[in-house]
Amino acid sequence: MATSNRKDIESAIGALSALKGRVGDDEQATLEHIAELLSHLDGEVARLSEQVRWLAGSPYRKKSEAAPPGQLAFDLIQMLTKRLDDEDKLQSEPSPDPEPDSEPSEDPKAQTKAKRKRRGRELPIEVVESRLPPEERPCRCCGKNRDEIGFDPQQRYVHAPERVFVLEERRYKYACRRCGEGVETADAALPAKPISGSMASSSMLAHLATSKILDGTPIERSAKKQRRHGVDLATSTLNDWLAAAADILKPLHRQQKERLRECELVSLDDTTMPAQNRSHAKNVQTGRQWLYLGDVDRVVYAEFSSDWKGIHPRRVLEGFTGDVQNDGYAGINPLFARDGPRRVGCNDHARRKFVQALERGDKRAQQVVDIYRALYEVERRATECELDAARRGALRRAESVPLWSQLAEVVTELSLRAEPKAPLGKAITYWNRQHDSLRAFLDDGRLPISNAHVERLIRLVAIFRKNSLFVGSLEAGHRYAVLLTLLLECLLADVNPYNYLVDVIDKIANDWPAARIGELLPRAWLQARQAEK
């Protein structure tokens, strides 16, 4: 270990001795224990070198600037002092009684790993057995055959490229050779074709839909992939098949719209969706893809429109009397007339404007960003503890309401000094105009603090737009919305989208009763499958 580092440790030990004057007698042993630990740092320098270098390089010093003498000891003392203060604060505060319902759940990353592990166990297992050949089984000592006492398993994931083949059903005919009449054909063993006169199967349609909608794979790339498996299909044929699949599933899309109106909360957002239109001056028209979520994650509904007029979301939400959450889009203002739904704002949009002002160099926005960070920390803890609406509302009243009052004071103070047309002034103007809807989440534990749950799903549309550039026509935009609705519903319901589409397309092609179409929605379909097991 370098001499300078040894001097730093000696200085730290000396400083700890000086700290004994500020603590009580009952904490003397703690400080002595810390001093003993410091004396053993010589053997741990290699493991802690990166952390020590980070301590030496404060954000306010250049990375290349060497730490002055005693700097490491000073930083270490500062850390230890803060830790002692935090322990004193925790000991002085009475600890609340633990509630079994509000125990924090596992770390989200740990939950994801556990879920991924469970999915791996559901995979089929093909066993390859390795045994000793007969000539090697005799014991080298006594010469008798050795018995099997177990095995050592070694598992691996195997990827088998998809297999495309033609399935031919031969329905044999029967007739009486003596009289030459009474010809009869055996009943079909396979479901009816989803597209009459086409060779497309439900599995092919499901593959095209999931690849295009969820994976963002353009049809041209899917066609190239099929050619590698010996199937040379024109992109126009694949596009026609995908359009036919959307037409088959339209009744389910209409059913989702009805279910959306039955929810208590509807969150909505939209993004651009260019569409080819030969009658347009530029041959491409900028349409909009709207996405609606009912009760946060219970119902998904997507709809395409040729423009950004507010008449489209107003038509979808006509007669709805619950709560509507969005980013302040003025086109839906007529919805919130007398006896209409309550408007809930999106704090992500409000916070983002202050972050943009901060990134443009206006340090005054830092206060607002810090308070928003504290507000989102409250939401994070409520989610980790899996609190219901009542408990979440109580937590917000206890912690978030005082933070919001502080936020309102800061914004009011900044509004007196910020220029209206500057980034900070625009952020303040948006916050003041949307204030009532932005704070609505404080009064109701059911309401989310932001519209982020919609934005996360709408990223799939952005990926599709980036890869495919546009949809083939305005009608193709509507068909895309049909498939997007059902596939996003599968994601939220933890339903395998490919298996779902294969089964549902076959059932509809075989004249599924229209009165029971609701049974084919992803969540109802999953419940029926689970009940069959």
Helix, coil or strand: residue 10: helix
Name every residue whose Cβ is closer than 8 Å to that of residue 64 and which is 6 or more positions away in sequence.
none
Q: CA-CA distance, 276 to 474, in Å (whole number)?
A: 7
Q: What mean pLDDT is predicted for residues 474-501?
A: 97
Instruction: Tell me the per-residue pLDDT of 8-36, one tens digit each, with 9 for 90 and over.
Output: 666 666 666 666 565 555 566 666 667 66
The CA-CA-CA angle for residues 94, 97, 102, to 5°, reads 125
Q: How many CB atoms lie within 10 A of CB 309?
A: 11
The CA-CA-CA angle for residues 444, 258, 249, to 5°, reads 130
What does the pLDDT read at residue 298? 94
Q: Is the pTM of this model over 0.85?
A: no
Report yes or no: 487 and 253 within 8 Å, Cβ to Cβ.
no
Name every residue whose Cβ is closer than 8 Å to that of residue 378 and which is 6 or more positions away in sequence.
395, 396, 399, 400, 403
- Domain ranges, ordered by start, for the chain: 247-341+456-532, 347-450
What does the pLDDT read at residue 62? 46
Q: Structure tokens of 347?
A: 């704090």
Can you say how many angstroms the Cα of residue 451 is from the centroid of all Cα atoms in its chain?
13
Report yes or no: 485 and 296 within 8 Å, Cβ to Cβ.
no
What does the pLDDT read at residue 103? 46
- Angstrom distances, CA of residue 157 to CA of 111, 153, 211: 21, 13, 22
Query: Which regions of 102-228 does DSSP assign to beta strands (E)?
Result: 173-174, 184-185
Instruction: Tell me the per-residue pLDDT of 420-445, one tens digit each, with 9 for 90 and over.
Output: 999 999 999 999 999 999 999 999 99
Q: CA-CA distance, 12 to 14, in Å (whole number)?
A: 5
What does the pLDDT read at residue 164? 85
Q: CA-CA distance, 204 to 164, in Å (whole number)?
A: 9
H/E stretch holding 324 reads: strand 323-325
Question: Percent of the chain, pLDDT > 90?
Answer: 59
CA atoms within 13 A on the CB side of 343: 22
Report yes or no: 305 and 314 within 8 Å, Cβ to Cβ.
no
Instruction: Tell me the per-residue pLDDT of 204-253, one tens digit each, with 9 for 90 and over.
Output: 999 999 999 999 999 999 999 889 888 899 999 999 999 999 999 999 99
pLDDT mean across residues, the chain: 85
Name every residue whose Cβ is closer than 8 Å to that of residue 124 and which is 6 or more positions away in sequence.
none
Q: How many CB atoms lie within 10 A of CB 125?
A: 7
Q: What mean pLDDT is predicted for residues 338-346?
A: 89
Q: Of the ranges 156-160, 186-190, 400-404, which one carries the lowest mean pLDDT score?
A: 156-160
Going across the sheet that includes 342-344, the strands are 299-305, 284-294, 265-276, 323-325, 342-344
386, 352, 390: which is closest to 372 by C-alpha? Answer: 352
Q: What mean pLDDT is predicted for residues 122-147?
A: 86
